[in-house]
Amino acid sequence: MKQILLATTALVMTAGVAAAEITFSGTAEMGIVGSGEDMAVIGRGQSTVGGTEFHNDFNLIVTATGETDMGLSFGVSTEISKDEGEANGNFSADNTAAFISGAYGTLTMGEIDGAMDWAITENIGNPGSIGDDETTHLGYLGAFGDASYDNQIARYEYNFGDFGVAISAELSDGEFVSDDPEVGVNNEIVGDSGENYAVGGKYSGDFGGFGLGFGLAYQTFDDGAITFVEDVQGIGEADVDILAVSATADFNNGFKAGIEYSDWSADNDAGQELDFAHMAISGGFVTGAFEIGANYGVFDFDTDGAADKIEGYGIAAAYDLGGGLKVHGGYGDSDVDGIEGDWETYSVGVSMSF
């Protein structure tokens, strides 16, 4: 990592700056969102207690870019977001990332996709909803093994023709200290440093007006968190290996579809082992100003008893009124084997882009 930083510093210091630009853009949402009580309890619904509530959201995106005399591009972007709920009115920065790009690829660091999430398409044709109902159901897998530590990722990517390859790394902050009596006392060291590495490749091509895309990736990390597994299986931090593949099709008539499959193997210091697979299918259709998309996902755990299969689906629709204003509706629901629950989420409202 130090070598990467030194190389990056050298590139910037040895190249003269030719041009720079700062741009601002923004998005906003307003409407109604809601969720069942069980989605709220595990933090996957919009409401903190279940039920229906008002929703408003604002994001200001700041992007600064430049180019050296030698043709080297560089830049940084960040998203300034307004908090909701009791913290309504407070602002925080999120999704900050910097990059340097040239003829030999692009190096990006920050809160970004790792190489697996970059290569694999888990949901296609999604018009979005103000409550993210189509991506918060329990069968949805969005980031794979990313954010197993602090979600600060370095990714190098290189594209040639219809192909692209990438590698990425996410490092923990090293050994940590805790005064929590449940995990350690008197500032006892209770954790170890860890590394998260991923490599991925993807292809996108057109065959006589029919578009095809493929992705293949591998990711591994140790002593990392897989929160969605901890919620239902209790394994907590673990050493994890993931292999994933995806395929997409664009029929060039407004319809797109895709499928994703990933195989997971996890074990921790307590001797717990957990193998599971995830599969998802998705599709979307656009006609004029109207868009609709749906997806279904399922986790199949190699265990006996409750929660050995978790599945869910989501639907989102949008109508473009023009000028950056869209009307959105969304719905999601889930099913957990052996456990009864109210897992639905729903939303309706408008989004604005500036």
Q: Transcribe 5-57 into DSSP letters.
A: HHHHHHHHHHS-EEEEEEEEEEEEEEEEEEE-HHHHHTT-SSSSSSEEEEEEE
Question: What is the rounded average pLDDT of the residues 10-23?
Answer: 59
The model's pLDDT over 261-275, given as tens digits with 9 standing for 90+, comes to: 999 998 877 777 888
Burial class (CB in 10 A: 0-12, 13-18, 19+), 80: middle
Is the pLDDT at 59 greater than 50? The verdict is yes
The position carrying tokens 């990438």 is 166
Share of the chain above pLDDT 90, in %: 60
Question: What is the rounded average pLDDT of the residues 39-68?
Answer: 78
Contact 70, 15 (CB under 8 A): yes
Work out whether strand 255-267 and strand 290-301 pair parallel, antiparallel, or are unpaired: unpaired
Give the residue, 224 or 18, on which the prediction is more confident. Answer: 224
Query: What is the C-alpha separation between 106 and 12, in angstroms, rounded?
Result: 14
Model confidence, pTM: 0.85
At 147, the pLDDT band (50, 70, 90 cuts) reads confident
Query: What is the C-alpha separation between 260 and 335, in angstroms, rounded?
Result: 20
Is the pLDDT at 309 greater than 70? The verdict is yes
**271: region left, alpha or beta (phi > 0 left; psi from -120 to 50 alpha):** left
Residue type, 23: T
Query: What is the C-alpha separation between 202 and 147, in angstroms, rounded?
Result: 22
pLDDT at residue 348 in the model: 97
CA distances from 326 to 127, 130, 167, 320, 322 (A): 10, 10, 36, 4, 7
Is the pLDDT at 44 greater than 80? The verdict is no
Question: What is the rounded average pLDDT of the residues 56-70?
Answer: 94
The position carrying tokens 């109210």 is 342
Chain-wide mean pLDDT for the chain? 84
